[in-house]
């Protein structure tokens, strides 16, 4: 689980460091092909980590591809929202929330810790 969270955090850190680029590319006038490439990249990264977390992907009640596409698409949506919110949450916090949300949805119970307010 930690490896999955680290991957997410690193992607968020890259987005934060290159915020203007991602705002343009993922914005309403951005390039759809770019969004598709990012989603495909995320799918593959999540799949690598997902196998470590859940083991045999064929033993899930929901097809793994469905879950991974859902997570990848949701991640793009969260990134767009985060950019529109001036990245007010830390990459670490977002990685933690995203890691726990979908995993809870498929039956992996993970305790949630709120981000400290500044």
What pLDDT digit, counting tens, does each position of 72-89 carry?
888 899 999 999 988 889
Count of other CB atoms within 10 angstroms of residue 43: 18
Cite the DSSP H helix spans in the chain: 2-17, 19-26, 32-54, 64-84, 91-105
Cα angle 88-97-35, degrees, rounded to a multiple of 5: 75
46-77 pLDDT tens trace: 787 777 777 777 777 788 888 888 888 888 99
First CA to last CA distance, the chain: 27
pTM of the model: 0.72
């Amino acid at each position: 689980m930690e490896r999955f969270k680290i991957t997410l955090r690193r992607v968020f850190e890259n987005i934060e460091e290159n915020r203007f680029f991602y705002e343009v590319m993922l914005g309403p006038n951005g390039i759809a092909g770019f969004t598709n490439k990012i989603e495909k990249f995320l799918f593959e990264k999540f799949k690598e980590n997902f196998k470590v977390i859940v083991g045999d992907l064929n033993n899930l009640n929901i097809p793994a591809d469905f879950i991974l596409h859902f997570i990848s698409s949701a991640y793009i949506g969260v990134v767009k929202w985060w950019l529109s919110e001036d990245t007010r949450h830390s990459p670490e916090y977002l990685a933690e929330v995203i890691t726990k949300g979908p995993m809870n949805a498929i039956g992996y119970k993970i305790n949630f810790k709120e981000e400290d307010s500044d």
